[in-house]
Structure 1
C-alpha cells in the first residue's frame, strides 16, 4: 500500500476581513492510498499556514513539504514516517505549526492503519480499558452575567457533572469575573465541578495569585492557563501556593516541550491537544512522561468531530483517561462537519469499536466552506 496524495483542506465560514471566532475555521487532511483507503485527520491551528507546510515545494533536504515527503510511502509505517516528516521539515520548525501539520497527518495514518487491520484504533494502541468516558462541558460565558443562567441549566440537563468556562470577556475584569462565577456556581450548585480558563489573561504571578485567592469561594476544580506556558517560574509558584489545581499546555507540541513544561512549571494537569502536540503518536509519549511525574493528563479539545473521535480512541487506551472535553461551540464546522459525531449521553461519551476513526464527513459542507489556495504553480 502506498500514499498517493495528501490533501490539505482549509475551511472557513466568515469572509476574509470578518472576525473568525472559535470553531469557525478548520484544517483537515485526507491521506489517499493506492488501495482506496483514505485517512482523515485535523489540526486546530492556522489553516493557511498548515496548508502551506504540506503543499510547499522543497527548498532542500531538511526543508521539504510534508506531502512531498510522504508520496510513495507505506502509510502503515507510522512511527518511521513521523520521524521522517520531523527530520525533513526541520528547518520549518520543530515546534508550533510544523508539528501541528504533522499532527493532522499522524491522526490520518492511524485512521488508515486501523481500517487496514480491521480493528479499532484503541486496539492498535494496546487495548480498550473503558467503554465510556466522562465529559466536561466547555462554554464561553455570556457577557451579561445573568444570561448564563439558561446556558448552565441547559448543560446540567444534558447530564454534565463538570463544567469549564473561558473566553469572551472572562479574565479581563475581576469584578465581572466574580459576578459571572457567582451566577454559574449558584445555578450549577455545589456538587458540580467547575473550572475556569484564563487564556493567559492574568498578568504575572502576583496578580494571578490575588485573583485565584478571590475565587476561592467558588471551589474551582482547576484554573487553566492563568499565565503563558513559558512563564515556568510563575506557574510553578502558583501550583505550589494555589488551593485550586493549575493546568495548561494546550498550545505546546512534542514530548520535548511537554517534558520541559512539566519539570519546570510543575502543573497539576497538562492539556495537550491531539491535533497540535504531534498527533496520536506523540500523545502516547507525552502521557508516559506525565505519568512518570505524577501529572494528570486531560486533553484539550475545542474543534470538530475529527478531534473528538481521535481523542476518544486515545483516552480509551490509557488507564487514567477518565475525562474528556466536550465543546459547546455552535459553529457549523463543530456541529456538522462530521455527520456521525461522538454523542453525549448522561454526561458521558461511548467509545466506538469500529475500525478507524469511524467518522463520515459532510462533503457538501466541505465544498461550501472550502478555501482554495494552491502553492507550487508557476505562471
Structure 2
C-alpha cells in the first residue's frame, strides 16, 4: 500500500469566521484506492502559496511511501533543506499529511485511530469553548463583561464545564509588553463577573496570546488568583520558555502553553524549565498525531497534562479526539461551541458533542468524511491570512 496522490482544499468559513477565515484540508490516496484526510493549521502564508508547498512536500518526501512509515517521512520532512529544526510552516504541512496517513491506516485495518494509538483509556472527552458573539448582540462580547458573563452562563446551561476568554487587550507584533492598569482592571472585571455567573459549575480559562513580559504577567496573575482560573494561557511570547517559567513560579494559577510551538524539541524546553504544567499543542501544526503522542508521553513523566488547542476546522478536532481518548494525562479539549454550524456542514457526519463532552465515531480511521459539495461551494478568495494581529506599535 503506497501513497500515490494528494488533493488540497482551502475552504472559506462564513462570517464571523469561528475557527479562522479558512481551513486547509488534504486528502491522500493510495495506489489501491484508500483515501484519508488531514488538516494543515495556519501557516503564515496565503493558502494559494501553501497549496503549492503541500504538493511539493508530498512529491519530494511522501509519495511512494507506505502510510505506516510515519517516522521515516517525519525525519525526511523535518530535515528538508538541511534545516533539522522546528519550522512552523513545514511541520504544519506535514501534520496535515501525517493525520491523513493515520486515517488511511485505520481504514485499511478496519479500526478507529485511537486503537492504533494504544486504545481508549476513556470513552468521552470533557470540552470547553471560547466565548463567541451572536448576530443579535448589541455590544461586543469581548469588551462587555456583562454580556460575557451572560454568554458564559448560556454555555454552562448547555453542559460546558470550561469557559475561555481573553480580555487583557489586543495582541501585537511588539509583544511581550507591560499591559496597563486599564487592561488589568478589565481582565479582573471579566473574571469576577464570569465567576459570579457560573459559580463552581465551570472552570475559567484565562487566555493572553503571549502578550506580556514576565513581570507584567505575574502582576496580572496575582490579581486573578482569587477567581481560581484553571489556567493562565501563554502569558509570555512562545520563544523563551525560560522566561515563562518565571511566571509559573510567580503565580498559583497553572500556566498553559503550546499552540504556537512545533515538535517535541520545543515542548521539551517547556517541560525542562517547568514553564507550564498544561500543554496545548495544535495537532495540525506540531508535527501530527504521532508527534503529539510523543509530547504527551514526555509530559506524563513531568506530571503535566495535555489540553490540545483548536482554532481551525473539524478534521483537526477529530485527530484531537482520537489522540486524547488514548492518552492518560488528558485534561480538557477545546471545542468551537458544539462543533455544529459550518464545522458540521463540511463533514458528512458532524463530530459528536453532547452535554459538554466530545465523542469519537467508532468507524475506521478518524471516523469522518469531508462533504466535498460544501467545500467546493465555498472557495477562499480573499487575501487575509487565517489569523491576523496588529502589526504596528501603538500607545501601550
Q: Displacement, 1:31?
A: 0.5
Tell me, what secondary structure is at the counterpart of 1:215? helix
* Preserved contact between residue 100 and residue 277 of structure 1 (Cα < 8 Å): yes
Q: Displacement, 1:27?
A: 1.0
Answering whether residue 91 of structure 2 is matched by residue 99 of structure 1, we say: yes
Matched residue, 2:38: 41
Matched residue, 2:52: 52
* Preserved contact between residue 142 and residue 167 of structure 2 (Cα < 8 Å): no
Match of 2:70 among 78, 83, 94: 78
Q: Distance in 1 between matches of 2:131 and 2:59?
A: 36
Matched residue, 1:177: 187
TM-score, length-scaled by structure 2: 0.83
* Preserved contact between residue 113 and residue 356 of structure 1 (Cα < 8 Å): yes
Matched residue, 1:62: none
Q: Displacement, 1:77?
A: 2.2
Q: Displacement, 1:168?
A: 8.9
Equivalent residues in 2 for 1:103-252, closer than 5 Å: 103-140=95-132, 141-166=141-166, 169=169, 173-202=183-212, 204-252=213-261
Match of 1:334 among 323, 343, 367: 343
TM-score, length-scaled by structure 1: 0.87
Q: Distance in 2 between matches of 1:89 and 1:39?
A: 27
Q: Distance in 2 between matches of 1:311 and 1:332?
A: 19
Answering whether residue 304 of structure 2 is matched by residue 301 of structure 1, we say: no
Q: Distance in 2 between matches of 1:357 and 1:4?
A: 20
Q: Which deviates further from its counterpart, 165-174 or 359-368?
A: 165-174
Q: Displacement, 1:335?
A: 4.3
- Deviations for 1:85-141, whole angstroms, at most 9, x for unmatched residues? 223455596421100100000000000000000011111111111111111222254
Answering whether residue 297 of structure 2 is matched by residue 278 of structure 1, we say: no
Q: Which deviates further from its counterpart, 337-346 or 122-131?
A: 337-346
* Preserved contact between residue 314 and residue 339 of structure 2 (Cα < 8 Å): no
Q: Which consecutive residues of structure 1, in runs of 5 or more, have no partner in the other structure? A: 57-64, 374-379
* Preserved contact between residue 156 and residue 201 of structure 2 (Cα < 8 Å): no
Matched residue, 2:393: none
- Deviations for 1:278-327, whole angstroms, at most 9, x for unmatched residues? 00110111112112222222111222111111111011112222421112
* Preserved contact between residue 24 and residue 333 of structure 1 (Cα < 8 Å): no
Matched residue, 2:137: none
Change (3 A) 1:20 1:360: closer
Query: How much is the aligned-residue C-alpha RMSD, in angstroms?
Result: 2.6
- Deviations for 1:161-216, whole angstroms, at most 9, x for unmatched residues? 222113795787222222222221111113421111100122x1111111111112
Q: Distance in 1 between matches of 2:83 and 2:254?
A: 37
Match of 1:26 among 18, 23, 27: 23
Q: Distance in 1 between matches of 2:235 and 2:2?
A: 45
* Preserved contact between residue 119 and residue 355 of structure 1 (Cα < 8 Å): yes
Q: Distance in 1 between matches of 2:339 and 2:186?
A: 24
Q: Distance in 2 between matches of 1:25 and 1:128?
A: 31
Q: Distance in 2 between matches of 1:67 and 1:321?
A: 35
Tell me, what secondary structure is at the counterpart of 1:26? strand
* Preserved contact between residue 143 and residue 169 of structure 1 (Cα < 8 Å): no
Match of 2:323 among 314, 330, 339: 314
Q: Which deviates further from its counterpart, 314-323 or 269-278?
A: 314-323
* Preserved contact between residue 95 and residue 289 of structure 2 (Cα < 8 Å): yes
Change (3 A) 1:88 1:263: same
Equivalent residues in 2 for 1:258-277, closer than 5 Å: 258-277=267-286
Q: Displacement, 1:341?
A: 2.3
Q: How many residues align?
A: 361
Q: Distance in 2 between matches of 1:168 and 1:342?
A: 32
Q: Distance in 2 between matches of 1:109 and 1:358?
A: 13
Tell me, what secondary structure is at the counterpart of 2:6? strand
Change (3 A) 1:232 1:350: closer
